[in-house]
Chains A and B, each alone.
Chain A
């Protein structure tokens, strides 16, 4: 079992194609450094992120989840992120209610021009999850 010092969290990042994925791309092109903790899943829109995806990532052993889309008003499909925002709000409340640690799942808006912000976000999220330690709650243990 990894000790707290050397714990390298695995973070699944659902990034929308139009803004946050492009933001991540810009961070790369700009040669910005951030921890190699994220596994990116590109989705067409933050509205495509079913809460079940987030839970399934945690079930299958992710230590953290990051969901990021376009800023309100910038959605490529105009309203996808607005609808997603309501859904995420309820999910977020329910996860806290169930006792999932705040910080295990992070929601963010990152635009295509915010490469630096993306690198900073991943650094912060990684630090937060590191502090929380490995995900033990929702992770599915087979008998």
Chain B
């Protein structure tokens, strides 16, 4: 039985036995090659689920929106599962209200190419699940071009880096789509929306754009699972993964934490070690 058939069968069973009220997964890919998100509440609706993992969104995001409805099943690739782990650590979800259908992921194909985030994926397989549909998949070789571009960027002078990022972020229209699609960006009032006091300017302004992106990346430090949903959602194609990769690397190297890979390890920035490195402090 192929993965899609197995997935449909399990989804049908879960819905028929009323073990869950909904199965969140991927529908069949559209002409663009991207699978839409599918919310199945009846066994019939579950017939459209597929195991094609080319789904642009991170499904953990939707769990937050249906968390009051009872037990929900969700199809989880590496990054969906890591996001779920972060949300569990932060008490945003209840484990007993989830049935995680883990699935190995071959990466999201966008415009005929592997999405930037997926091209350097380190965790294609779910890190947490109740059952695994099909076999785990091997982690792909990271795209050498992306790694090289990162290295080259870091070797530029501070002024050159600033120029490059300014040019990139000046294009940001601050639509906040990147925030909306991120499952781990769930504050009821985001600092960019606060109005009493107003923390960030509302107009298109390079300084405000920069501050938005720096703070966004910082709020995601130790929590971003590098799924790339934000990057894919951006209407002007800002390279958000460049920030996310940098911060994730800092957190991995300095604190030995990899977001959402271990339910028992507290998110990096909520904890500390007395002997954390502090070479940057005078």
Contact = CB atoms under 8 A, between A and B. Distances in A.
Contacts of A31: none
A27 B34 CA distance: 64
Contacts of B156: 99
Contacts of A98: 161-162, 165, 210, 214
Interface string A52-72: 100110010000000000001
B207 A99 contact: no
- Those 8 A-B pairs whose CB atoms lie nearest each other, nearest first: A99-B162, A99-B161, A82-B272, A140-B207, A108-B282, A99-B158, A93-B250, A107-B281
Contact of B214 (A83, A95, A102): A95
Contacts of B215: 51-52, 55
Interface in A82-102: 82-83, 85-102
Nearest to A101: B158
The binding surface of chain B is classed by DSSP as helix
Given A86-B269, A100-B162, A138-B207, A94 B277 contact: no
Interface in B222-279: 222, 243, 246-247, 250-251, 254-255, 268-274, 276-278
Contacts of A73: 274
B158 A96 contact: yes
Contact of B274 (A82, A90, A95, A101): A82
A91 B274 CA distance: 19
Nearest to A121: B282
A113 interface: no
B211 interface: yes
Contacts of A59: 207-208, 211
Interface bracket on B: 35 or more
Interface string B191-232: 100000001010001011011001101100110000000000
The binding surface of chain A is classed by DSSP as helix
Contacts of A83: 269-272
A86 B254 CA distance: 9
Nearest to B205: A140
B31 interface: no
8 contacts: A55-B211, A56-B211, A83-B272, A86-B254, A90-B254, A91-B214, A94-B243, A99-B164
Nearest to A89: B254
Nearest to B280: A92
B161 A90 contact: no
B37 to A, nearest CB: 32
Contacts of A108: 281-282
B152 interface: no
A100 B273 CA distance: 27
A102 B251 CA distance: 20
A83 B273 CA distance: 9
A106 interface: yes
A142 to B, nearest CB: 8
B154 interface: yes
B159 interface: yes
Interface in A6-31: none
A72 B274 contact: yes
A121 to B, nearest CB: 7
Contacts of B90: none
Nearest to A59: B207
B250 A79 contact: no
Contacts of A87: 218, 221, 269
Contacts of A107: 280-282
A52 B200 CA distance: 10
B276 to A, nearest CB: 6
B13 interface: no
